Amino acid sequence: MTITFRRALVALAVLPLAACSSTPEAAAPAPAVTVTVTETATPAAPVASATPEAVPTETAAPAQTPQVSADVDKEDPISGRIPKIKAAKFQYDEGHDFSQVTPSADGVLRGRLISWGDGEARYVPVRYAGGDFVGPEGGMTYAAPIAQSVQFLSAVGCKGDDQTINSASLGTEPCPRARLIELAGQGEPTALITVKSGQIVKVVQIYY
């Protein structure tokens, strides 16, 4: 709001002069003072859009959950029986959660010890392909402690410089638990691994 006084100052300056030049009786009435008020419009502020602009958000990638290999034979579950040695598919562990690294089901697994640490051996199932035993590409990993009374039958002797097998190419040489732990730390042996109550109780090495 701006107020403009256009004639007010001029009128106020003339009044004293008129009073001095005229007698009180002859003094003319003071001219009316006009005050003009001018309002300057202020531009209205822009109205915010009723619909806010969409803000792009990042979507976190879903956590990857280890998947069971398609090469699992559901007709060959882990059980108390000895599995086929040179099977083309992995044994089936029904209901096992491979997002957790835990022991396999009780029974005999055709597998390979791949590491040792924190009092547990890690191991994976194996299948026979192209003249060799191969493990899964990833995800199908178990872990279990090795029982103090574990039975380890080596196919190459306790020093690894002999051939100690039966007609099915399975190890026959009893070796101490310490030797089994040593081999597990080296990522071997490939064997029939028996688990009972969450512990590895027997390991029979496969010779190939």
The predicted-structure confidence for 88-126, as pLDDT tens digits, reads as follows 999 999 999 999 999 999 999 999 999 999 999 999 999
The string of pLDDT tens digits covering residues 48-80 is 445 445 554 444 444 444 556 669 999 999 999
Q: pLDDT at position 138, please?
A: 81
Q: Which residues are paired to 122 by β-bridges?
A: 115, 143
Q: How far apart are CA 169 and CA 176, in angstroms?
A: 20
pLDDT beyond 60 at 10: no
User: Would you list the domain boundaries of the chain?
Assistant: 2-38, 72-205
Average pLDDT over residues 128-150: 95
Q: Which residues contact 83 (CB under 8 A, 6 or more apart)?
A: 76, 91, 108, 109, 110, 192
Structure-block tokens of residue 139: 């995800």
* pLDDT > 70 in the chain, percent: 66
Cα→Cα distances 93→56, 193, 208, Å: 43, 14, 25
| pTM recorded for the entire structure | 0.68
Q: How far apart are CA 89 and CA 5, in angstroms?
A: 102
Instruction: Tell me the chain's radius of gyration from C-alpha atoms.
Output: 48
